[in-house]
Amino acid sequence: MKAANLTTNRLKKLRNTAASPYNRGVSNLQQAALYCSLRSDTGFSPEITARSMSELKPEHRLIPFEASSLPPGPWLVFAPHADDETFGMGGSLLKAHDEGRQTHLVVMTDGALGGSTEGLVDIRKQEVQEAAQILGIDSVDSWQEPDRGLKHSAQLVNKIMQKIQRVGAASVFFPGPLELHPDHRHTALLVWAAMQNLSKEAVAPDAYSYEIGVQNPVNLFIDITAQRTRKARAMAIYASQNDENNYEELVLALDKGRTFTLAAAVSHAEGFYRYSPEQLQLSLQEVTHNIIDLYF
């Protein structure tokens, strides 16, 4: 049999027995063996590939294969701009409200650079109030920091700490460290600094990052299949932003993409990373490097 045919047949076998690398029914070793044999047909040394495959961590060390129950309440979400809370974790906020958890929101910036509409700052303030009503959010603060102007400040870290303590948050959410917009990453670093200070307290809240515009490290999925339609309704409130791009479609595509490793019945999911108390002792940069190191 020619190598090409052999590869085709093995590919078929792989497809039948290990429908995808995410298939839960097939052991990781079995998949690794199949991949190694495929790779040996295409010129890779079987010994080298077998050795490196066995040393690499299996998928379940990198991503969850099951959706989780909701983190404990009250929740406090830090959003860099009005809309990030809805796009990033609107489904989970709805679910938290449905399950009786208190949820609170802080919008860090005034969002003045999110378009050229006159009176944009006031429009965005109004939009976040309307979206919060749909999502069942109990309180909304707009801190009105300059858009694209967030930077490290001891005063702001202090303000974040006080807010966390005032609402008695059990779970605190901030954007993932690999977000692209600098305000998103600054929000992550500011909240991280506040959480590090609070970790010395007797009862410290749990730290979670959520995804907004891109995929970030995740170790927790929330199934939002039942909340998807209402999330879309809340997203539609942000007309000032949706005129800039089709965010509704983009966000639902990201949520769909997060179901790769989940049961077929889960149509959409939101991804989070829950940081351990040990991780909170390190810098967010170091923690993120350690997560990426798991792939090698």
> Footprint of Zn ion on this chain (CB under 5 A)?
80-81, 84
Residue type present at position 279:
Q
Q: At closest approach, how far in Å is the CB of 254 from Zn ion?
A: 14
Query: Shortest approach of Zn ion to residue 184 CB, angstroms?
Result: 6
What is the Cα 57 distance to its own chain's centre?
22
81 or 124: CB nearest Zn ion: 81
Nearer to Zn ion, 84 or 223 (CB): 84
- Quick one: which of 267, 292, 245 has its CA closest to 83? 245
Half-sphere exposure of 245 (CA within 13 A, CB side): 8
The b-or-e profile of 71-100 (16+ CB within 10 A means b, else e) is bebbbbbbbbbbbbbbbbbbbbbbbbbeee
Q: How far apart are CA 250 and CA 248, in angstroms?
A: 6
Per the CB < 8 A criterion, the answer to whether 81 and 238 are in contact is no
Output the smallest distance, CB 155 to Zn ion, in A: 22
**122: which 2 tokens?**
């006031």
* CB-nearer residue toward Zn ion: 80 or 271: 80
Which letter does DSSP use for residue 2 in this model?
A: -
Nearer to Zn ion, 64 or 271 (CB): 271
Phi then psi dihedrals of residue 254, to 5 deg: -65, -45
Phi and psi, residue 219, nearest 5°: -135, 15
CB of 84 to Zn ion, least distance (A): 4
Q: Which residue is nearest to Zn ion (CB)?
A: 81
List the structure tokens of 18. Answer: 């290990």
Nearer to Zn ion, 47 or 122 (CB): 122
Residue type for position 104? H
> Least distance in Å: CB of 245 to Zn ion?
12
Cα-only R_g, the chain? 22
Q: Which is nearer to Zn ion, 84 or 270 (CB)?
A: 84
Nearest distance, CB of residue 224 and Zn ion, angstroms: 20
Nearest approach, Cβ of 275 to Zn ion (angstroms)?
Answer: 21
* C-alpha to C-alpha distance for 51 and 49, rounded to whole angstroms: 5
Q: Which is nearer to Zn ion, 187 or 196 (CB)?
A: 187
